[in-house]
Amino acid sequence: MVKKNYKKIILFSALIIFLIALITLLFFVSPEEIVNKLGVRNAYFLVFLVSFFGGFSAGGSLTFISLLITLAIGGMNPLYLGLVSGTSLAIGDMIMFYVFSKGRELVKNKWDKRINKVANVFKKRKWLQKMIPFFAYIYIGFIPLPNDILILFLAAIEYPAKKVNASIILGDLTFALMVAILASKGIMFFV
């Protein structure tokens, strides 16, 4: 039993250290420096990478949105940009949900009681539980705030991954397509 918890702690710690190292790297290396190193021909790969890691922090979200707007204004196809970045962002968000779900198992004592109290509110009200995917889609797809807030909440209340994944995929695709298309038309709501 102790050995099993020890493995979970090591796995969770390794994932957190990896994410912190990646976020730190992206914080100190600007998108322009990355574009100069990769070249314009690899811009789709660049937007894929930046959007994948962009959802892990508020600073990463700003970098992802800035790069997406820059490339869309620069004349790249906004539909392709939106699809590539939205797919990548969804993959990153689903990985984050998995990591947070595993991290939930490590929470003990008073935090566990508080989280269970909130989770029970949703479990007792079936209509509220059924509306979570819709509200998650609206939040992820139309509100320019970091998705990790919502994803952490859903993982904490142990919401089923199958129901969350559809909202994450559709919401991230909607958001990325909306930003890319509006930016290519010269309309900017988030800047």
pLDDT band at 80 (very low <50, low <70, confident <90, very high): very high
Closest by CA to 88, choosing from 64, 66, 70, is: 64
At residue 57, the pLDDT reads 63
pLDDT digits (tens, 9 = 90+) for 121-130: 777 787 888 8
pLDDT at 166 over 70: yes
Helices 2-28, 78-104: crossing angle, 10 deg rounding: 150
Q: How far is CA 121 from the centre of its chain?
A: 25
pLDDT at 94 over 80: yes
Closest by CA to 115, choosing from 162, 160, 153, is: 153
- φ/ψ of 62, rounded to 5, equals -65, -40
